[in-house]
Amino acid sequence: MVRAAVLPAVGAPLEVTGIELPEPGPGRVRVRLAAAGVCHSDLSLSNGTMRVPVPAVLGHEGAGTVVAVGEGVDHVAPGTDVVLNWAPSCGGCHACARGEVWLCANALSGAGEVHARREDGTDLYPGLNVAAFAQETVVAASCVLPVPDGVPLTDAALLGCAVLTGYGAVHHSAKVRPGESVAVFGAGGVGLAALQSARIAGAERIIAVDVSPEKEQLARRAGATDFVLAGDTTPREIRALTDKQGVDVAVECAGRAVAIRAAWDSTRRGGRTTVVGIGGKDQQVTFNALELFHWGRTLAGCVYGDCDPAVDLPVLAEHVRAGRLDLGALVTERITLDEIPAAFDNMLRGRGGRSLVVF
């Protein structure tokens, strides 16, 4: 029996309760969690913006130590420290065959399989595959990757979503080049990772945009050269900071229609706007045909940072070891399982960066 944060129904409060995990069968791994990040996607699952079977154990950004493996698992063993990969590629679908593993059609197939049971025998599902809001979890072997050398285990949890997504949005999707200007909309966990990644990419002017003035110092520590409070005049203020041109690249991390539109309006003619945030289907963004022609901008979605975790984790680890990437700077509070609802509330209110559940 282990403790876990369970979503009993869409829109219902999380319940921290005991659950019973099965022993790892063939191709499965049991992991004792060291830490799990509280991501906005978990909030989106709880309120129904993203749909998964319920009741479910949430949490998809985590790291821990393997305690048991099933038959056929040979890339990790008991005692191996691992990062959880919530979107493993199947290797056989159309996207995987094209090398676009972040678009794998079967990445979330595990979310529909029974993961564990409550004490009363109720079946539980694993949220986004890995059910990291628990002391221990059992996942497919493809959902674990060894923690690279030189990365502290607790901090490694952030590599599983926030850092891969923020880094990938800057380096893979937007392809930021040295000397360019970048605006990042939303200074939560992913946004702070994007700011650090823009600095690593050599961006000259890095503008952070957020609805909360308290995010300014967090953003500047992550690499922002300027901070703009989100509002009706945001695009105008950004153009004023960039010789009236707009930024070369805007990265939207909030998942709100108004932020996506502001990011687009803040991008120079011929620039790139990358949308990372996950918004609801009711969040409609409109453009007219003439402006699409006139501005010549590129608008692109970005899934999981367009990353292949197996390839990108070693790169990120090298940035950590070299001191270019500060994982600890993304964390604004370390909490317990019981404090996850309060962390959800903070996200709704636009407070802080990443909350990290430490076991």
Rounded to an integer, what distance in angstroms lies between the CA atom of residue 10 and that of residue 125? 13
Q: State the chain's maximal CA–CA distance in angstroms.
A: 64
Whether pLDDT at 352 is above 80: no
Same structural domain for residues 195 and 81? no
pLDDT value, residue 209: 98
Looking at the structure of the chain, the number of domains it has is: 2
Cis peptide before 148 (omega within 30 of 0): no
What pLDDT score was predicted for residue 93? 97
Backbone angles phi, psi at 224, to 5 degrees: -65, 135
Q: Which of these three, 278, 304, 330, is where a domain ends?
A: 304
Whole-structure pTM value: 0.94
Confidence of residue 275 (pLDDT cuts 50, 70, 90): very high
Output the domain CATH number for residue 191.
Answer: 3.40.50.720
Last residue of a domain, one of 304, 329, 350: 304
Same domain, yes or no: 97 and 153: yes
Average pLDDT for 89-108: 96
For 294-331, what is each residue's pLDDT tens digit? 999 999 999 999 999 999 999 999 999 999 999 999 99
Same domain for 95 and 112, yes or no, is: yes
Output the pLDDT for position 104.
97
Q: Which residues have C-beta within 8 Å of that of residue 359, sequence separation ≥ 6?
A: 32, 33, 34, 35, 36, 64, 135, 337
* Same-domain pairing of 295 and 313: no
Give the pLDDT score at 281.
Answer: 87
Does 206 have pLDDT greater than 80? yes
Q: 80 pLDDT exceeds 80?
A: yes
- Average of pLDDT values for 223-249? 97
Which of the listed residues 304, 332, 348 is the one where a domain comes to its end?
A: 304
Same domain, 251 and 156: no
Residues 248 and 259 in one domain: yes
| Same-domain check for residues 334 and 279 | no
314 and 352 together in one domain: yes
169 and 156, same domain (yes or no): no
Asked whether residue 332 falls in the same domain as residue 353, the answer is: yes
Q: Are residues 11 and 155 in the same domain?
A: yes
123 to each of 11, 57, 252, how far by Cα in Å? Answer: 19, 11, 37
Q: Which residues span the domain enclosing 335?
A: 2-161+306-358
